[in-house]
Amino acid sequence: MKFEGRNVRVSPRAKIGRDVRIGDDVTIYDHVEVGDGSVIANGSVLGEPPAAYYGAKEFENPALKIGARALIRSHAIIYAGSTIGDDFQTGHRVTIREQMQIGHHCSVGTLCDLQGHAVFGDYVRLHSNVHIGQKSRLGSFVFIYPYVVLTNDPTPPSDVLVGPVVEDYAQIACMTVVLPAVKIGRHALVGAHALVAKDIPEFQLAVGSPAAPIKDVRKIAARTAAGEAHYPWPERFKRGMPWAQQGFAEWCAQHGLDEFGSPRKT
């Protein structure tokens, strides 16, 4: 329905894998590599040339590498110059700028704005309309909800950027701002409408503007199992997660991780 080959423009210098479906009105520029089995839906632009292109006499587009089985929804703009792992998914109208390193199994929701020069681990999930400033570093299994902004300049304007760090399994609820250089610890949960101005220790629920830890997330009751805790969330949530089959505890054991999914300290 979407894949009728109308107005598709693929550079002869792009490498398109096997069984890739390319939607109508898609543009793929030079040096884009799309992995096998991917879907690039209608109106998307892959390999958007960075700013240098506009002024350059001679311009060589940087490489954009997207792994296997991507599902890029319609009207994405993904710049040249990034590396994205396998099983990547996007919503509509995402903007992903240059120099992103994105791991495997990540997803980026509708209208997300990734400013480039940032690093994501695996299984990062950004819901709609998340803004990731340059120099941000996200671990794996990080969930960020709508209208969250990660910033990077403590004394604006300046040319000295320092991004936040969000550790594995941490979550940031919607409409929250994370200030530059702040670290959010593993399995921490930042509540909605917070301003994170200081580091949040691991496993803490932090709320408020400015945000302060108020309790251990492991004391938050599950809604689906009386008397049990909802957190650490991987014990309760498995949709799309690598422990979907065997459960989190066994998955950790199989991978030599501690009970919270982190490498054992030795």
Work out how close the CB of 157 gets to a second copy at its nearest, in angstroms, rounded to a whole number.
5
User: Which range in 27-35, 99-107, 245-253, 258-266 contacts a second copy by CB under 8 A?
Assistant: 27-35
For residue 200, give both structure tokens.
Answer: 């949040």
Name residues contacting a second copy, limited to 161-180 (CB under 8 A).
171, 173-175, 177, 179
| Alpha-carbon span 244 to 253, nearest angstrom | 14
Q: Does 219 bind a second copy (CB under 8 A)?
A: no
Considering only 20, 29, 44, 121, the residue that binds a second copy (CB under 8 A) is: 29
Work out how close the CB of 250 gets to a second copy at its nearest, in angstroms, rounded to a whole number.
20
Nearer to a second copy, 57 or 265 (CB): 57
Number of residues interacting with a second copy: please give it, by CB under 8 A. 72
Give backbone dihedrals phi and psi of 105, rounded to 5 degrees, phi first.
60, 30
Work out how close the CB of 266 gets to a second copy at its nearest, in angstroms, rounded to a whole number.
31
- What value, to the nearest 5°, has the Cα angle with vertex 73 and ends 24 and 80? 85
Work out how close the CB of 81 gets to a second copy at its nearest, in angstroms, rounded to a whole number.
14
Name residues contacting a second copy, limited to 35-94 (CB under 8 A).
39, 42, 45, 48-49, 53-54, 59, 61, 71, 74-75, 77, 91-93
119: Cβ contacts below 8 Å, ≥ 6 apart: 100, 101, 136, 137, 138
Q: Does 226 bind a second copy (CB under 8 A)?
A: no
Q: Does 140 bind a second copy (CB under 8 A)?
A: no
For residue 180, give both structure tokens.
Answer: 């530059």
| Alpha-carbon span 200 to 258, nearest angstrom | 21
Give the per-residue contact string, 100-139, with a second copy (x = CB under 8 A; - = no): ----------xx-x-x---------x--xx-x--------
For residue 23, give both structure tokens.
Answer: 């939607």
Work out how close the CB of 191 gets to a second copy at its nearest, in angstroms, rounded to a whole number.
8
Distance, C-alpha 246 to centroid of its chain: 25
Considering only 212, 236, 247, 257, the residue that binds a second copy (CB under 8 A) is: 236
Give, for 89, the enclosing helix (H) or strand (E).
strand 89-90
